[in-house]
């Protein structure tokens, strides 16, 4: 008898769900795409407050994030920790891809373009590094903080391609696409065996002088 009662309850539940699907939830509007139309009529009750805030926001100074005990300091700490965690995640994914997709150079070492890399089954460090560069850009890292870099190990002349992320001015972190120089996202200064030889983007190339990048305008 219990089994029959259970079957009846299931049947009634199915009927109720069917009716609910047809009628929709009471008080819930059916889905419709939203459109944003600029120019809200002034009579809108929030308009005056919106306009005042917009004016004050545009005229205000850059938010202060360094004062301890403030919301700005808490925000800065959270954002920085999340960015580092995300950079670590990107680095780990690239290195996992490299284990399956690493293809040594042919006779001619021609660095691939981004389009060539994305259409290929694999590449070496000078191609795989582009995955890190584009992943970080796509995930919201500011383009002006990201650079490609050739680093060199002086004791044997070995060169390797990595992504540099300037978390703060003058403090680049290394995202290594293969894990050859480092398996973690670490400050460039901690890679004691490696020296930056070239730093560049699609638009510019920088010479390296000591711990600084030149010319002016490069991240210092």
Q: What angle do CA 196, 202, 207 make, to 5 degrees?
A: 30
- Lowest-pLDDT choice from 26-30, 75-79, 153-157, 167-171: 26-30
How far apart, in whole angstroms, are the C-alpha atoms of residue 132 and residue 175? 7
Is residue 217 within 8 Å of 129, Cβ to Cβ? no
Higher pLDDT, 7 or 65: 65
The dihedrals phi and psi of 119, each to the nearest 5 degrees, come to -95, 0
Give the single-character DSSP code of 189.
G
Q: How confident is the model at residue 2 (pLDDT cuts 50, 70, 90)?
A: very low
Give me the sign of the Cα torsion angle 37, 41, 45, 50. Answer: positive
Contact by Cβ (8 Å): 182, 164: no
User: How is residue 120 written in tokens?
Assistant: 């290929």
- Rounded mean pLDDT, 121-128: 88
Classify each residue of 68-87 as buried b or exposed e, where b means 16 or more C-beta atoms within 10 Å of its C-beta: eeeeeeeebeeeeeebeebb
Does the pTM exceed 0.75?
no
pLDDT in the model for residue 200:
94
- Asked if residue 129 lies in contact with residue 144, where contact means CB atoms within 8 angstroms, the answer is no
Contact 176, 192 (CB under 8 A): no
Nearest to 198 by CA among 167, 172, 159, 166: 159
Determine the Cα–Cα distance for residues 149 and 129; give it in Å rounded to an integer: 9
Contact of 196 with 149, CB cutoff 8 Å = yes
Q: Where are the domains of the chain?
A: 72-214
Q: What percent of the chain has pLDDT over 70?
A: 79
By percentage, how much of the chain surpasses pLDDT 90?
Answer: 46
How does pLDDT run across 91-124, given as a tens digit for each residue? 999 999 999 988 887 777 788 888 988 998 888 8
* Least reliable range by pLDDT among 68-72, 85-89, 153-157: 68-72
134 Cβ contact list (under 8 Å, min separation 6): 114
Q: Which fold has domain 72-214?
A: C8orf32 fold (3.10.620)
Mind listing the pLDDT tens digit for each residue in 168-190? 878 899 999 999 999 999 999 99
More confident residue, 34 or 95: 95
């Amino acid at each position: 008898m219990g089994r029959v009662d259970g079957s009846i309850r299931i049947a009634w539940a199915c009927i109720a769900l069917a009716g609910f699907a047809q009628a929709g939830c009471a008080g819930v509007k059916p889905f419709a795409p939203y459109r944003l139309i600029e120019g809200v009529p002034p009579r809108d009750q929030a308009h005056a407050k919106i306009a005042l805030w917009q004016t004050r926001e545009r005229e205000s100074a850059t938010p202060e994030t360094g004062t301890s005990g403030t919301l700005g300091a808490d925000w800065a700490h959270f954002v920085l920790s999340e960015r580092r965690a995300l950079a670590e995640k990107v680095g780990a994914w690239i290195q996992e891809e490299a284990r399956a997709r690493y293809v040594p150079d042919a006779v001619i070492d021609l660095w691939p373009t981004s389009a060539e890399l994305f259409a290929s089954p694999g590449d070496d460090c000078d191609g795989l590094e582009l995955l890190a560069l584009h992943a970080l850009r796509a995930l919201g890292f500011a383009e002006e903080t990201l650079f490609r870099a050739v680093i060199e190990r002086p004791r044997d002349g070995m060169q390797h391609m990595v992504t540099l992320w300037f978390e703060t001015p003058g403090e680049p972190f290394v995202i290594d696409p293969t894990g050859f120089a480092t398996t973690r996202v670490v400050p460039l200064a901690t890679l004691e065996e490696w020296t930056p030889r070239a730093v560049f983007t699609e638009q510019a190339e920088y010479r390296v002088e000591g711990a600084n990048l030149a010319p002016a305008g490069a991240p210092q």
